[in-house]
Structure 1
């Protein structure tokens, strides 16, 4: 944004402030960035607007109150009381922390020997360490005067986040040494770029023996490439554990699952067919590719979060 445009925008915002009794104006969050949010304010795209600390859980589509001025600031989110949602989130997190910290997972008893393997006997007390490292106790009784509580069900495996082991950009059938991050599109007419993220065998290894419920990928659209407005990522699968020395060939795609404005970070949930391929190892990683300048951009991130059921 040039100094002239910024100055004119500041004047407009100052006038808006003067005309609003509360001293704030409403705006819609376009995207969340690493330093604030991108806003749609009366049709103008404001980039990296800072937010007060109390504005948490920021999400594209939020309506917020903005304090106008030469340097606008987001003051609070508009909408319903988030108390109920916050309470459910806090309770869920507290339960996970308690289960992580407890040493004994289960204590049961009965007259028969315990079922399963791994038990160690101390007279009539049995104990073992489960898959999560939690201790399980079982007491074998000569006679039983009270029923044993049921052992709690096994926990669903915790989500796993996998960072890429490598990433890069290809143009003209070979790695593009002039690109520091994965890119898509063609800004100069010298050829369309395609970018990729690589994970070795870590995705399939993390999914082995588990039921995968969801796979999500987190991306950040980098500043300094393409137009500032929201543009879609053209996503593909690829079948490389490591960056190829020649062309990066693409598999399933394209799928426009997410669009980001400049500087924004967003998370996309992959479709079930892509989830199955990555979990089984039939696909190895994620790529982006577009032609022309409209959707030209550089993208970082690429961390994958796998949720199990």
Structure 2
């Protein structure tokens, strides 16, 4: 028995006997799962699907947390510095950046101070980003007019795959319900794919792509429980092929997940370009043998523009 497992057993026994005195132990989050629970690394032991108190918000892999032992361990809170000040500063910066008018007051008299101008006409319109724009027509050209508004950046787009599947032995694998990689039983290595039609290139047409990310969930009941890498590839299909799923550029090991874990992979620049131009159409996974065997769901692609 490992030292971590023995320690956990002692903590559980102490809590069950009522002598724990509110004992908590520290652990590191390996992954946040699709069920909202977390997989924990407790001194080298992998503890799966640990529920969390509502106070533990913004859960992320890598967090150090306080765990209350018991027959059913529970994560109580995150350990570390208070992020409140950083969050407050970030929110303030975003809010100020989004403001078009810094201050607005009114009254029955003329305003005090220098620099005021009285418009002869006032115009308003809805801008491309959905916000309102004001334009004041004045009788005399001001010496220091406000800056022209910059062009609106296209809003991020999220695209869900229109189809997905697995292939084995050069043809679709009807046994697999989700995209899979590797081989567990000796029946042959699987490869899985996600398909988007032409939606990715259509969404990127005429825009500058700044970032592409894709979210995945590692399904339970396939492979070892520990973190294993997804071996990602590009492919050029708009829909599932009836024969072999041929792989494009790759592999890129952009994400590692434990069983039940969810995560986001950021695609490299060359892959962004290939998908945005239509040179590639979707994503695939493939591995050999049982080491990285897994089933994966998800595949929602988020595109950000600049």
Range class of TM-score, shorter chain: 0.7 to 0.9
TM-aligned CA distance change 1:233 to 1:145, over 3 Å:
closer
SS in 2 for 1:243: coil
How much does 1:181 deviate? 0.6
* Count of residue correspondences: 283
Partner of 1:12: 10
Partner of 1:30: 30
Superposition pairs of residues 110-149 of structure 1, within 5 angstroms: 129-144=126-141, 147-149=144-146
| Counterpart contact for 1:172–1:191, Cα < 8 Å | yes
What RMSD in Å do the two structures reach over aligned CA positions? 2.9
| Counterpart contact for 2:229–2:292, Cα < 8 Å | yes
Residues 260-293 of structure 1: per-residue CA shift (max 9 Å, x gap)? 0000000011111111111111111100001111
Which deviates the most, 34-43 or 292-301?
Answer: 34-43
| Counterpart contact for 2:215–2:300, Cα < 8 Å | yes
How much does 1:136 deviate? 3.8
In 1: Cα distance, 2:251 partner to 2:37 partner:
30
Which deviates the most, 207-216 or 256-265?
Answer: 207-216
How much does 1:139 deviate? 4.3
| Counterpart contact for 1:156–1:308, Cα < 8 Å | yes
Query: Which 5+ residue runs of structure 1 have no aligned equivalent?
Result: 1-6, 100-108, 112-122
Partner of 2:69: 68
SS in 2 for 1:195: strand
How much does 1:242 deviate? 0.8
Superposition pairs of residues 228-307 of structure 1, within 5 angstroms: 228-307=225-304
Q: TM-score, normalised by structure 2?
A: 0.83
TM-aligned CA distance change 1:126 to 1:96, over 3 Å:
closer
In 2: Cα distance, 1:244 partner to 1:95 partner:
50
